[in-house]
Structure 1
């Protein structure tokens, strides 16, 4: 490695971006600087200087050896080489190949979320909103909505930086050999408070140039995110848009809270069977996967509509119930849903989905204030869990403003959903919540 004259203009920022890329790749595969030095035959000091942005004119051969040591694929290697060329004085002003950064591929088609996707996409595309947090009960489809928004924004020319939080199960196929995987990981780590607060903004600003980018933090826990770093990142990188999928809001200035409710599942006893209802369409799609030989007739559709209504149109609950059609028929499935729906929350084909759903619902219930949990218990004891504002006034004995805030809290947490079956402003406790509401809350769940 050689050292020349001080870089001019944006060269210093370019070298800082190069260091961020190298460090991100190294940390992603769990190497120390010493281990990378041994693999690449480059000195530890040279690697340290590169990561700190002190190497003013890194040689192409040096970067090639480091890329070899990091076992980088073609795209990630090209990103490093472009960063080196930008770091040399007189180099043409080019940006990282962010146009190659595409969102992950969803595993399932989008069912009746077009209106929600259109709203979120337009707000982020125009910059009317720069921070959107999608909240809702686990399994309601937050990740699938985010994937659709990401795909639509990518079609408009925005590169997509997608990060799945540790422990979250991504229902998608990640992009292969993403050249910006390290930068995306740096963004997520930066917002979690890791590293120096001054490290990321210059590197990200250089990568974006005069363009924007769409960052998704899927399955994030807002309690672990640093609001001050977010504020600075949005200020210093004006082209950045951020979408978070979470079980609860971040509650920071400028946050656009987007509540995702379950799919529409009308009560067939009130409006008749609707084969075009979103929840029914989702169930029919799952039915074709497990029982392609079954062509539903009118009676079958009546059973399906009742199952969808009683499961409140919750996508993951519907998928789990449909998996049981490998071992039972539709009338039997309907009978189980009417008598003991909790048993159907275990997905027969995916042993993780059922326990994960029940654990996440139990955690959501445990995180509610005691008064809210008591109200849920009282509402469930009243019948099928459908209620209106007057019921909350009666059960709590509290003033109207307090009851209004309680209902809003329950809606945001996802444990209740709006109900329009009766033509009035009503709400309904979700079946997956009713199935677990009577169970004792595990010790420490509320603290989690």
Structure 2
């Protein structure tokens, strides 16, 4: 690519949007490969209506293009269809509408039979200074090329990212807000009105209320995407679909905000600290199942007065500061109005039906012959968006007249069976019932069985729970059929093909499963599969596979929650204890100790016998957070109890771990009992060494190093830290290297070995990026700030310090006095260059982690850049 001006690309952790343009049918495999490559980079694919369409709604895909950062065009033989009254195909129109300065990656599949107009378009593209022209032969080759080219593109633009974004005046991307896979229709007025409520700013909680299937979540997504200008510090989308315990609300919000729960401070306090002084919008989707947790929002917005919450819920929260917005159904011509083409075209319900029908049958058009039936369908379904989408999906096999007739016969009877539900709930239930009734029995059974899965699931998981089910020998065909029926969604996440059910469909499926008396059987199979998955993966949480294993477990987090919830609820308490303990490393790295504590408290409250080891596990997890937050003699006593119980159960390794935690607790006391702490940590280290547990031996070496620092014995502390680091390097364990390495660098810096400190900080920065470990990156950036200050680079010292401070605030890690090892150096350089430090701090306030990495590691390799793109 060449050109005098190249606009800055949004930095990787801000979810770059990649618009994909291609014909649909001839390049179906290639489109799937493109999506996989983009999502592998943790970027957001924008694949408008599954490809160029016969009647391209130009204003809509112009809007999609305006929100995108990179244009990917995939061309082969077909130029695409030219609609009546149009001069060019949708394929060429999309290319022309892409902003002139938008980077364009054009991939041309080899062919000797290209249509003439496509040849002309390609020839024109070759002259475009902002387009890269790249050949390929197979879908597999395309996937690798797109991933590599996007990584290279990001790397080329890192240095210019900050300045370019500021100069262009662009708003930052809306981080974690989902990108819809289809267009949103008929919600323009709702979007405007909800945005007006947010602009007014007097309501701390805005609740989008309405029945399932009405479109609350989709409206919330569109509001979030359209409100970035109102919330300068970010918009966050928190999916509560897989969260069923009110006590898990805080940890779920924390996870979405990037607040890491290490147990050091109350999670509510961490979140409040992370939100302090920040004007943010937090979207909480599907709140109705944990409505008892609503008072938590009052406490949060009281502590963080600039934060606003946008909630979707079927029931009202009934808390102070709540403003309710009732989400209504889409408009359809009333029964008293004639179903004319003119009236139908003014109906948002009809527009949605036509749009979704074209997605499954591109040649579908609204005609004088079918308009009456389409209007009738929309009327029968009360304008409910999900019901209309399910009906429109049947256009693949039935014409509107046949769909209308079947609804006329089935809908009233099905709705009458649920008289205890409000009218629109009955209609939604009946619409799903009707859609499911068209499936063969085997496919219906599969859909209902899938109700036990949370959020998303893999083909492996489906196959694992198929034993004894009617669909056992038809997994692929049956799953494909329910995807075709629009009852199950398929999407690639992190390079893996996954499946999901809309919350309303999952609720329906689980309800049917319970009516059949099969829910317990399927929950047991689900829990067994994930318990086995945890057993298989847990050894890889230490060592060379650690980074990939943490990523895989994060993809399965919702199902891990569901599995442990079932284990506890069904009194499989020993299995629940094993499940929690085997994931200890994952909880630590990813910060989920508060959730585990809730499960273990519930376990201990059960009047059901548990093994000695399970009791030891539960006691340990319930006091792990207390050892950091509120160290006390009671915590010391409880950790001693856990160690004794582990010893009685024959688990010497876990007993030593509880002992090491006991010694670490003493380190938090103002009047540190050094001999007692030293003795307990050293005793634990000896056990780990004897048993060959190198991971915990290394971490106890870190604890011993901290104890030595507390005594002022810096050479001894360095010896401990370097030994732990060497263990991490030998075993290729990223977490150990980051934790120990940052301490090595800190001691080297204190001893005047600046070059040695820089070398270590570079390593820990790279590994923290690969592991997605916020705190590791934070400590390393603080160290690099100190280095810059010592070298006289006041601006960089200020910038890196500000970025690290922002991470501290976001993750809730604010033990500045104890561990922020750059303050002294920063203040020293500030005394001589106050304006430069202040300018750097101001710049750092607007930097992302990726931009800070570009500053601290300007020569970071492609692997690190890719990891940053996925962070």
Q: TM-score, normalised by structure 2?
A: 0.27
Which structure exhibits the higher relative contact order, with contacts defined as CA atoms closer than 8 Å and separated by 6 or more residues? 1
